[in-house]
Amino acid sequence: MTRMQNFLKGLVKENPTLVLVLGTCPTLAISTSVTAAFGMGIAATAVLICSNMAISALRNTIPDRVRIPCYIVLVAGFVTVVELLMEAFAYSLYQSLGVYLALIVVNCIILGRAEMYANKHGVIDSAIDGLGMGLGFTLAICSMGTIREILGGGSWCGIPIPWFHENPIGILTMAPGGFFVFGCMIALVNKISKGKAIKKKEFGCMGCMLCEKGVCGKEESAK
Amino acid sequence: MKTVIFVILTAAITNNYVLVKFLGICPFLGVSKKLDQATGMSIAVIFVEVMAAAVTWPIYHKLLDGGINFTYMETTVFILVIAALVQLVEIILKKYIPTLHKALGVYLPLITTNCGVLGVTMNNITDGFNFRDSVLTALGCGLGFFLAMVIFSGVRSRVEEARPPKSFEGLPITLVSASIVSLSFFGFAGVLTKIFG
Amino acid sequence: MREQKKDIIKSIVVLVVICLVTSAALAIVNHFTAPVSAANAAAREEAARRAVLPDAGSFEKLESDALPASVVSAYRGLDASGKPIGYIFSISGKGFGGTIQIMCAIGPDGKILRCQTLDVSGETKTLGGKTASPDYTDQYTGKDASLDGVDAISGATITSTAYKNCVLDAFKAYDAVKEAG
């Protein structure tokens, strides 16, 4: 796979949020405002690139039996660095992200890419994979944010938009709205890709690293 | 007694972690298809959440926030504690209740990445609860997770029989159903405050 | 058997080393960012105090055991000649989606001079979040402890009630400190 293909797959074909359905928690929670969504996306991308690179660099050193705790410690470390930097230099973003910033550490995208890609490929390739996936996540969460902020709050990035500002559909900025918009977006992706995007029968965290090797994909028989 | 019930019910219903706070969505969407799996997973989650809250609260307040300020280690230490607890639960289940262990199978290690577990331990610190309320809130959150899972597996079994538009089949229609269930939980917010407040 | 033991020891060593290196790295980053964060927080507090009591020349921190538990900080505002012109209380309470924090300036006559919302990021933006705007907070100016005529935001009962309770706590705090002059 060329470097360009590696980068682009994270954006569209294997978009972590809309196709692989990973990292749904922050997507639903932070997409009420585009500025916050963008901040979350960039923070997650930064952590993703750094952790992919670190794990790839250490892939031959970390023994298999402790790889999960090791990955967790490394990811937690990068997340904490982002937390500390944000608290010092971007406080309002830090406030709007709340606990979800720290929750990047259990974001399936990060742990999933570590397991699926970083521990099998070189440092540069892993970094590109991280960049692509992170930007794909950012793209998805910002699109959702745009829909929810314009229709639900009548603004975009805090700038009020004429007609929408007077007629907001408040429910879209709350929990039910989040589920609804997310569902519609995935339906849209399905429609556009004419069903080719429905790769996985079981969705969500089944793609996650903690699936025991070989069991994933065989969940039907395991039940 | 009244406060105890209030804390538990608030965590379980008004601030339901899955349907209101968006924590624990991955297992919620992945495991709620069959009722027995949903039940098994929820019980494991309740156990891990309560234990995690009980262990992380003293760690934060005595170690991290004690003499020297180590609060920046919160994220790392908490997630390690949770990972260790999940391992422990797995070992215990394998030894003493092998049938449940087999039934949960792959879902058990997934509890480590359940945003809800790390979320409840961190929220307990941010909200400034004392030890008793922290553990009760964790219990309530686990119960809320259980409630959401059970309700939703019922909804999903109906949705399976329905015929949505082609592009909505599978995950999208599940999410739309989730949005309606979430809407129903909003009604409870005022009820509890009126009864106990 | 010896292979396994060597394996286990290597695993533990690697894990411990990674933990130590990560902790050290975090300690270093924290060393640089903590003073910046603290300075920013202090500056924000100072700016908020100036916003609720613009005529004050300086602020004097107050400590008292009689303050309600929800009081985060209490200050006495002094004018240029050192005379007290008001009391400022920073109160935190439980809103709908999390903690809310407000700042209240109460004048020597026992009436509110100004209320300012510090943090309602946990509330729903289009409902409880409206308590952040001056349209809501301005209605508190001039009110006394009975809070007659303060309207809640429709659709945001929990946030509005929490806000009101915080303001009432500010009055309780005022009663606690005003004797001290």
What per-residue confidence (pLDDT) applies to C169? 85
Contact C44 A88 (CB under 8 A): no
C95 residue type, one letter: G
What per-residue confidence (pLDDT) applies to A140? 92
pLDDT top residue among A202 and C105:
C105
With contact defined as beta carbons under 8 Å apart, do A157 and A37 qualify?
Answer: no
Residue among B110, B112, B179 minimizing CB distance to A179 = B179
pLDDT score of B118 more than 80: yes
ipTM of the complex: 0.83
**Residue A215: band (very low, low, confident or very high) from pLDDT cuts 50, 70, 90:** very low
Q: What is the mean pLDDT of chain B?
A: 83
Strand-strand pairing, C84-94 and C71-78: antiparallel
* Regions of chain C short of the pLDDT cut 50: 181
**Residue A112: band (very low, low, confident or very high) from pLDDT cuts 50, 70, 90:** confident
| Nearest C-alpha in B relative to A205 | B26
What per-residue confidence (pLDDT) applies to A219? 35
Calpha distance B15→B188 (Å, rounded): 10
Q: Which residues of B are less than 8 Å from C29 in CB distance?
A: 72
B105 in helix, strand or coil? coil
Residue among C12, C18, C40 minimizing CB distance to A73 = C18
What per-residue confidence (pLDDT) applies to A141? 92
Calpha distance B137→B4 (Å, rounded): 9
Span C107-147, pLDDT tens digits: 888 888 888 888 887 777 667 777 888 888 888 888 887 87
Please tell me the pTM assigned to this model. 0.84
pLDDT score of A221 more than 60: no
Calpha distance B31→B33 (Å, rounded): 6
What per-residue confidence (pLDDT) applies to A38? 93
Q: Which residues of B are less than 8 Å from C26 in CB distance?
A: 72-73, 76
Whole-number percent of chain B with pLDDT over 70: 95
Q: Establish if C99 touches chain B: CB-CB under 8 angstroms.
A: yes
pLDDT score of A212 more than 50: no
Smallest Cα–Cα separation from C117: which of C44, C57, C178? C44
Span A152-182, pLDDT tens digits: 878 888 788 887 777 778 788 888 888 999 9
Span A45-87, pLDDT tens digits: 999 999 999 999 988 888 887 888 889 999 999 999 999 999 9
pLDDT score of A44 more than 90: yes
**Residue A214: band (very low, low, confident or very high) from pLDDT cuts 50, 70, 90:** very low
Mean pLDDT of A137-155: 89
Span B34-85, pLDDT tens digits: 888 788 888 888 988 999 999 999 888 887 766 677 888 888 889 988 988 8
What per-residue confidence (pLDDT) applies to A195? 60
Whole-number percent of chain A with pLDDT over 90: 26
Span B170-185, pLDDT tens digits: 788 888 888 888 888 8
What per-residue confidence (pLDDT) applies to C53? 83
Mean pLDDT of A97-121: 86
- Give how far Cα C167 sits from Cα of C76, C111, C114, Å: 17, 11, 11
**Residue A142: band (very low, low, confident or very high) from pLDDT cuts 50, 70, 90:** very high
What per-residue confidence (pLDDT) applies to B157? 85
Q: Establish if C98 touches chain B: CB-CB under 8 angstroms.
A: yes
Q: Establish if C25 touches chain A: CB-CB under 8 angstroms.
A: yes
pLDDT top residue among A193 and C40:
C40
pLDDT top residue among B7 and B48:
B48
Contact C126 A85 (CB under 8 A): no
Contact C158 B189 (CB under 8 A): yes
The pair of structure tokens assigned to B49 is 């959440």
What per-residue confidence (pLDDT) applies to A211? 47
What phi, psi does C74 have (nearest 5°)? Answer: -135, 135
B180 in helix, strand or coil? helix
Residues 53-92 of C with CB under 8 A from A: none
